[in-house]
Structure 1
């Protein structure tokens, strides 16, 4: 603890105490920054012509969600030969968001949250984050969780904290490099009531995961926990790491460690140095502490003017103890009226200087698949319900033929354009046709299944699949063809679509008509150069799914009128997913 040292008899007795675990310092304040899809490559774009993405490609397809997202991102960041234009970025994000493209929804939420190109609107930000999070966008899941945490702290709502933890866990499952998710989980465990050793240990575990990846708030939290346990050296070391990553709170606590000799030899000069760095960055507690250090060792009005300035800044930044200190200093004979006026002017003209931390090298991780997973097979799958049921071929699912369950040592994950999901229910397999049904959690946009058993009336039809999914590419590709009339008979469970030569790199196909209704499913074509798809009719798929999962709510919202071909393909893309089987 530190106490003032009286320098002149005219000073009033001043004893100011800074407690280590109470008072100014709030436990684990979230300094949350909304996350943006900014540095990702365009790996979610359609096949080869778009892989070498250019602005013109996107402009030609600006009615499709993915293209609008890329245009918004270009104007957001000022890339691909255009100048940064926040308003244009928002307008393209809005088009993509309304087309249910998750990344556009996520970035539109970011714009509303930060006031980029649009007036700040927390309610609209939360709305778009929530929609994108439900589709699996990991950045939206992070942002949605963080905003839930803030609201939960305000309202002391434990259920909201648990909901936020669920979103953080989903984001961390998708991408272990999202250290903010690990930090958020640790934060929630630290605040759950009633406090118990198990939650404290879990908080420390998650903070440790984030701290190991150099997350400054997590490093600070680890130091704070160690400080509470009386482990001064460990606390000092964690604060030093957090300081190197730019944490003002860590600078403040390092100042306290040096001032009080906690975990390190007492050194008032180094205490002042750390307080000053944080104070210059606008940290109110450091501004107050720095003023108190100077006051305790001051001998002239020049010193007291600096004290008055720092306490004015701390008061302006919401620190109540600074207000009381200012009143005492104002009523003393230590500083003149002119000195106080000059100090107030200096505070009014103060501009925070961003603390530039020492750069610590970081290491790379495999974002696509965690180090514990190894992809063995990937094929296309297609959503049939809004709550996450999808169909695929069972051939590559490593199913035990006797138990009808996944073989030991294998796992399945589903990748969409928005994110990655584990399966959450049993796997159902058609006894005769090559169809399997799986489920993930979230909200998705399937094409409605035609449930009648009549002949296929349309001559023109489309088929969507993934190009080269085995290479972990999410690249939807569409073919167009005509139905063979000879196979179009009432009661037949299959029909044939004649199309252009089908690339061997495509796996599984969802067929749909010009109204945007799913009409059939075809498994992977194994014959090189094939030009025909033998598809199971949607009515057969409908019967299989309803008999296997009676409670399922299949998409039946049929399209009225005939949408454009661009709109059709965009809807089909949203209904497409990648089914990945991996060894654990």
Structure 2
């Protein structure tokens, strides 16, 4: 039996950019936040929070949660995070799900954690898609369902999310939720290993011992082609985001 990766609990500071003055101010705040100028960041975020702008509520929640430039205040962070999540802001949905799964600030509620994470996953957030897959695989806040786990891993894997690729390979190796296929296990381990993920490299080697030379060669060719496509799609997304950001500079 191969090992699987468990829940991801941290997201990178980011925002979904739209063409508005609010977004321009938000970008300025995030720029200041990322270079450690917390006071200046808050000066950009606070007016937006007062207008009910979800991305700014989320960023201020992170500031209170982590104590960046002010004392930690997890209750205030929860309040702001909840406000942003009520507007279906994906990053807030993700983070609030983690809060409910950990049960430190609020009473632990795995069912609610799953519901929030699923909402984030439906907004095409690969880390959330991966987490929903893990929750289905483990029966965390939802009935255990390997088929659903596989479907969510696939969504994240196709966005070149390495942990999902690795777990998807494991399902194919075991035949859980999918038709057992050593070729598919090898393919996804190969792709994850291309990104330097060491556990996938080890699992790929296990797969190789069970495949013929012809199977290995054919699957490698498919994996290389798929990997190239995944990387290309990633680069296109980055360029699109950079082009959007240029409008504010």
TM range (shorter): 0.7 to 0.9
Matched residues in 2 for 1:162 and 1:343: separation? 53
Matched residues in 2 for 1:283 and 1:209: separation? 28
Whether 1:348 aligns to 2:232 is: no
C-alpha contact (below 8 Å) 1:139/1:171 kept by paired residues: no
Matched residues in 2 for 1:239 and 1:323: separation? 29
Structure 2 counterpart SS, 1:276: helix
1:289 is aligned to: 167
Whether 1:211 aligns to 2:194 is: no
2:12 is aligned to: 29
Matched residues in 1 for 2:29 and 2:68: separation? 19
Whether 1:169 aligns to 2:46 is: yes
Q: 1:303 to 1:191 in 2, by over 3 A?
A: same
2:139 is aligned to: 261
C-alpha contact (below 8 Å) 1:305/1:342 kept by paired residues: no
Q: 1:201 to 1:318 in 2, by over 3 A?
A: farther
Q: Which has more strand, going by share of residues? A: 1
1:223 is aligned to: 97
1:474 is aligned to: none
Superposed counterparts of 1:533-552, under 5 Å: none
Structure 2 counterpart SS, 1:349: helix
Q: 1:308 to 1:140 in 2, by over 3 A?
A: same
Shift of 1:212: 0.7
C-alpha contact (below 8 Å) 2:162/2:195 kept by paired residues: yes
Over residues 304-356 of structure 1, what are the superposed CA-to-partner deviations in whole Å (9 max), with x where a residue is unaligned? 221122122223345443234334444xx2123332332222222223499xx
2:247 is aligned to: none
Superposed counterparts of 1:131-146, under 5 Å: 137-146=21-30
Over residues 75-107 of structure 1, what are the superposed CA-to-partner deviations in whole Å (9 max), with x where a residue is unaligned? xxxxxxxxxxxxxxxxxxxxxxxxxxxxxxxxx
Q: Which has more helix, going by share of residues? A: 2
Q: 1:261 to 1:320 in 2, by over 3 A?
A: same
Q: 1:295 to 1:169 in 2, by over 3 A?
A: same
Q: 1:163 to 1:336 in 2, by over 3 A?
A: farther
Shift of 1:204: 1.6
Over residues 33-90 of structure 1, what are the superposed CA-to-partner deviations in whole Å (9 max), with x where a residue is unaligned? 44434xxxxxxxxxxxxxxxxxxxxxxxxxxxxxxxxxxxxxxxxxxxxxxxxxxxxx
TM-score by length of 1: 0.35
Matched residues in 2 for 1:337 and 1:161: separation? 56
Q: Which has the larger radius of gyration?
A: 1
Q: 1:223 to 1:323 in 2, by over 3 A?
A: same
Shift of 1:219: 0.7
Shift of 1:221: 1.0
In the alignment, structure 1 segments of 5+ residues that lack a partner are 5-13, 38-136, 355-584
Q: 1:228 to 1:262 in 2, by over 3 A?
A: same
Structure 1 counterpart SS, 2:150: helix
Over residues 244-293 of structure 1, what are the superposed CA-to-partner deviations in whole Å (9 max), with x where a residue is unaligned? 32222222111111111111111111111111122123222211111111
Shift of 1:195: 11
In the alignment, structure 2 segments of 5+ residues that lack a partner are 234-249
TM-score by length of 2: 0.77
Over residues 217-248 of structure 1, what are the superposed CA-to-partner deviations in whole Å (9 max), with x where a residue is unaligned? 11111111111124211111111222232222
Question: For this pair of structures, how many residues does the alignment match?
Answer: 223
Shift of 1:188: 2.5
Q: 1:326 to 1:31 in 2, by over 3 A?
A: farther
C-alpha contact (below 8 Å) 1:35/1:139 kept by paired residues: yes
Shift of 1:186: 1.6
2:73 is aligned to: 199
Q: 1:239 to 1:26 in 2, by over 3 A?
A: closer
Matched residues in 1 for 2:216 and 2:70: separation? 46
Q: 1:183 to 1:293 in 2, by over 3 A?
A: same
Whether 1:18 aligns to 2:5 is: yes
Matched residues in 2 for 1:164 and 1:195: separation? 12
Q: 1:19 to 1:193 in 2, by over 3 A?
A: farther
Shift of 1:192: 2.6
